[in-house]
Chain A
């Protein structure tokens, strides 16, 4: 039986009254601390490449790549999900979280084989991120080029 609209709305009001709220302050503190700490670690690698004389724009690339490797490795060790369940977006939003989103399904679906398991499922979460980022970036760049003329970024 699908409830009629009044029943549904009355139930939604009841649910809203009783629903537990996420511990917002605790989540925010965790997200800030862990997210900040991950970025500070990233700053170590960024500093390393800057000190080797790379310009900032170039140095961010290998620094991010090292962090990706680190995130993937911590996922492999089974540590990253433990961090993530407390730190929430503090662990998911840094690029280490992107690495986690690729490594975790790759590991999980290893039991379905190397091609259709690991190969296909690797992009379960990262796929949407890449697709959306690329699509929006093309639109943004096109608009910017039309409005301001070719700028070279």
Chain B
């Protein structure tokens, strides 16, 4: 059997469709520039739950419930759930999977998780192992803050490189070719790239080399030019990391110019005190499920490359003085022909 992989890139012979997308976000995200594109905006970050963790889990459950309704895929027809989040032991995803109750792959790629889920989900469908697969990832400002940094009521100042973890979940239903308006044609799986950055308040800088590495690999493997895409959208490099990735790509001869946008820069505006922008598994997931997928569906965009970026450190590793490894996975999404 001929391999459909070239370099780091999988080419799907029968590109899986995107049947539906759902985004569920918190109040701050609902007040941002992307607000009109989200399906559900929650009025408070606790969602009526007793803890931030329960709230994040609830967001995932709601997103998947709504996704099943929107896509018309019943629970019995949903072959696999691919999910992940930022918390230790990916509890939001696993506890939501306990409720959703379908066979489940728990994924951890930090903020790159939704792209990892879309890549693997598409491979499962194209490989004939599944008909319908749900990919979902989430993050919550307060669960991430207390795990990675300080208690939420601690009066500390954030440096200008800091990013704001989005309270958001994004879910995508993948199905057989021809069933939806959008399809996933390629996925480029990133290497872990570590350029020795150590500042946990500067994720964008740590992840930018990984993003550049994966984007360059994608163009090399597919033989495509940047103008094949309306947009190359990174996950959450933010205002600090994105120009760095742009610079690294130019050095490799990849010139994205104003095709290069970033979900972290899009989800908040300057008045929202988010410093370098948004981050978190839910940031790129909700912006893709909202703004990007809907613009593709409406025909305003023809094809985008979604490049979700993750920082693979933990509190332990940075306290032990380790540098922050980055990763980026890219999926090419286009309107069905």
- Point out the residues of chain A lying under 8 angstroms from B295, CB to CB: none
Instruction: List residues of B whose CB falls within 8 A of some A CB.
Output: 50-53, 146, 150-161, 191-197, 202, 205, 209, 239-240, 243-244, 247-248, 273, 276, 323, 325
* 10 A-B pairs whose Cβ atoms sit less than 8 Å apart in the complex: A2-B325, A3-B195, A7-B195, A11-B197, A18-B243, A85-B155, A88-B157, A104-B152, A107-B153, A108-B151
Stretch of A45-53, A57-65, A76-84 with 4 or more beta carbons under 8 angstroms from chain B: A76-84
> Nearest Cβ in chain B — how far from A89, in angstroms?
8
- Bound Cα distance from A103 to B153, whole angstroms: 8
Q: How many residues of A contact B (CB 8 A)?
A: 43
Query: What's the minimum C-beta distance from B126 to chain A, rounded to whole angstroms?
Result: 28
Interface residue? A33 (CB, 8 A): no
- Cβ of A91 within 8 Å of any chain B Cβ, yes or no, is yes
Are B194 and A3 neighbours in the complex by a CB distance under 8 Å? yes
Chain B binder among A21-29, A129-137, A138-146:
A21-29
- Please determine whether B151 and A14 come into contact, CB atoms closer than 8 angstroms: no
A104 touches B150 (CB 8 A): yes
Give complex CA distance A97, B243 in Å. 36
Determine whether A111 belongs to the interface, using a CB cutoff of 8 Å to chain B.
Answer: yes
Query: Which 3 A-B pairs have CB atoms at the shortest separation, nearest pair first?
Result: A84-B155, A108-B151, A104-B153
Asked if A44 is at the interface (CB within 8 A of a chain B CB), the reply is no
Indicate if the CB atoms of A19 and B240 lie closer than 8 Å.
Answer: yes
Q: Is the CB of B161 within 8 A of A104?
A: no
CB of B156 within 8 A of CB of A92, answer yes
Question: Whole-angstrom distance from the CB of A127 to the nearest CB of chain B?
Answer: 13
> Which residues of A lie under 8 Å from residue B325 when comparing CB positions?
2
- Cα–Cα, bound, A100→B154 (Å): 6
A109 in complex: contacting residue of B151, B192, B197, B244, CB < 8 Å? B151
Q: Are B153 and A100 in contact (CB under 8 A)?
A: yes
